[in-house]
């Protein structure tokens, strides 16, 4: 019997089974297809949506690859090697289109996730996974949105400890300043976010080897931006109060990657520090220590660079986001009409 005839026979005998398999797999894919029309939070979300279809495909592929592959149907049993091979080809033909469809979905998701990201993040995603970037933002008070350049960002993310990352901030000090200045000096960004002029003033101080006053200016500029972008005080506290037991204020399952990469480092820069309770001052950049504990331990070149990256990231995010995305913590946040009017009235 020819292969075509065998496949036709299987289509008749296994028609109901094949239809059931296809129907089950396509139902499993429906949520994933729907998710593409929305902004997908993490790759874990997609994996969860595709899990039933992938599980079905993997199970049947395992059966196809097994040495003693057999499939039994009431009143029919195929014993010959030719029949076994034919059945394998049948299921390969059955699932090959589904596998291609799944890959198309994954490719589309990757494209969607990169849409709207700054160039440094798009380039970094050629070497890093989205999960690596999100985890870095969740762990460190180092801004990544817009700067630094991809090559430096990859090194920062791939480093194992905060101490190693701070050494990199020192090693690539001048390049990071250049990257931030390039972002902030854009006429489009300066017109949308007037606070960027203060950041440029801070950069002048950095180039004059005066990182301490630059860090002070950047810290208060960051404070000002947070108030303007998240005017609702209860919502704002989710970013500006970071107690040791606190969970991240942005849920990776619901918020966009742009929000996570912008705001989680800012949240990490607000870890609790109370000098009046004899808290040990942090060596890493900390907003509260910069404001309430003016000491060399807190004011340093590395911390100045952290403050610059954080402020640059928030400005880059604000300049490229619609107003309804400024108050990113809860829907109750009511954004100001525009940053320019807010600056003139402040």
Do 162 and 273 belong to one domain? yes
Do 337 and 260 belong to one domain? yes
Alpha helices in 208-334 (DSSP H): 211-229, 233-240, 257-268, 287-292, 301-320
Q: What is the mean pLDDT of the chain?
A: 77
Do 141 and 109 belong to one domain? no
Do 203 and 322 belong to one domain? yes
Q: What share of the chain is helix, strand, coil (3-state, %, to 5)?
A: 65, 0, 30
Please give the sequence-ordered ranges of beta strands (E in DSSP) within the chain, or none if there are none.
72-73, 76-77
- Using 50, 70 and 90 to split pLDDT, how confident is the model at 320? confident
Contact 205, 325 (CB under 8 A): no
Record the tokens describing residue 108, joined without a space. Answer: 């589309």
SS3 123: helix
Do 71 and 165 belong to one domain? no
Dihedral sign for Cα 200, 170, 114, 240, please.
negative
For residues 72-85, give the mean pLDDT.
54
- Using 50, 70 and 90 to split pLDDT, how confident is the model at 83? low
- What pLDDT does residue 249 have? 87
From 114, 137, 167, the end of a domain falls on 114
Cα dihedral: 319, 323, 325, 329 (round 10): 110
Angstrom distance (rounded) from CA 314 to CA 184? 11
Residue 78 clears pLDDT 60, i.e. is over it = no
Angstrom distance (rounded) from CA 169 to CA 181? 16
Do 193 and 107 belong to one domain? no
> Which of the pair, 163 or 64, is modelled with greater confidence?
163
Tokens 């939070």 sit on residue: 41
Q: pTM surpassing 0.75?
A: no
Do 106 and 125 belong to one domain? no
From 114, 130, 146, the end of a domain falls on 114
Residue 61 clears pLDDT 90, i.e. is over it = no
Angstrom distance (rounded) from CA 139 to CA 325? 23
- What pLDDT does residue 300 have? 96
Do 240 and 260 belong to one domain? yes
Exposed/middle/buried for residue 58 (C-beta within 10 Å: 0-12, 13-18, 19+) = exposed
DSSP secondary-structure letter at 269?
Answer: T
Tokens 């009431």 sit on residue: 74
SS3 172: coil
Dihedral sign for Cα 155, 158, 163, 164, please.
negative
- What pLDDT does residue 34 have? 52
> Which of the pair, 93 or 130, is modelled with greater confidence?
130
Please give the sequence-ordered ranges of beta strands (E in DSSP) within 104-166, or none if there are none.
none
- Using 50, 70 and 90 to split pLDDT, how confident is the model at 189? very high
Do 37 and 56 belong to one domain? yes
Angstrom distance (rounded) from CA 210 to CA 215? 9
Q: Which domain holds residue 27?
A: 3-114
Residue 76 clears pLDDT 70, i.e. is over it = no
State pLDDT tens for residues 233-244: 888 999 999 999
Do 160 and 275 belong to one domain? yes
> Which of the pair, 24 or 256, is modelled with greater confidence?
256
Do 136 and 277 belong to one domain? yes
User: At how many degrees (to 10) do helices 301-320 and 211-229 cross?
Assistant: 30
Per the structure, the count of domains in the chain is: 2
- Using 50, 70 and 90 to split pLDDT, how confident is the model at 275? confident
Do 188 and 246 belong to one domain? yes
């Amino acid at each position: 019997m020819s292969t075509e005839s065998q496949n036709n026979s299987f289509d008749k005998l296994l028609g109901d089974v094949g239809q059931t398999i296809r129907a089950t797999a396509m139902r499993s894919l429906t949520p994933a297809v729907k998710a593409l029309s929305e902004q997908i939070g993490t790759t874990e979300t997609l994996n969860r949506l595709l899990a039933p279809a992938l599980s079905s495909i993997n199970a049947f592929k395992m059966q196809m690859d097994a040495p003693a592959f057999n499939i039994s149907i009431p009143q029919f049993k195929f014993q010959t090697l030719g029949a076994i091979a034919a059945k394998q080809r049948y299921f390969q033909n059955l699932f090959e289109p589904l596998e291609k469809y799944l890959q198309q979905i994954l490719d589309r998701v990757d494209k969607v996730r990169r849409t709207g990201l700054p160039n440094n993040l798009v380039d970094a995603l050629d070497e890093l996974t989205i999960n690596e970037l999100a985890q870095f933002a969740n762990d460190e008070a180092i801004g990544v949105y817009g700067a630094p350049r991809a090559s430096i960002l990859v090194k920062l993310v791939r480093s194992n400890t905060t101490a190693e990352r701070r050494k990199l901030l020192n090693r690539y000090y001048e390049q990071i300043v250049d990257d931030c200045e390039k972002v902030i000096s854009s006429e489009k960004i300066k017109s949308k976010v007037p606070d960027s002029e203060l950041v440029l003033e801070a950069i002048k101080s950095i180039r004059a080897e005066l990182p301490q006053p630059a860090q002070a200016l950047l810290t208060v500029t960051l404070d000002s931006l947070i108030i303007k972008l998240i005017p609702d005080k209860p919502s704002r506290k989710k970013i500006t109060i970071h107690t040791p037991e606190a969970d991240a204020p942005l849920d990776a399952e619901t918020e966009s990657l742009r929000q996570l990469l912008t705001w989680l480092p800012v949240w990490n820069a607000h870890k609790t520090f109370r000098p009046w309770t004899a808290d040990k001052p942090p060596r890493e950049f900390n907003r509260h220590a910069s404001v309430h504990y003016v000491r060399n331990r807190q004011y340093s070149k590395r911390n100045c660079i952290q403050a610059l990256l954080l402020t640059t990231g928030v400005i880059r995010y604000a300049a490229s986001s619609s107003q309804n995305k400024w108050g990113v913590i809860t829907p109750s946040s009511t954004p100001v009409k525009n940053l320019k009017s807010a600056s003139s009235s402040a």
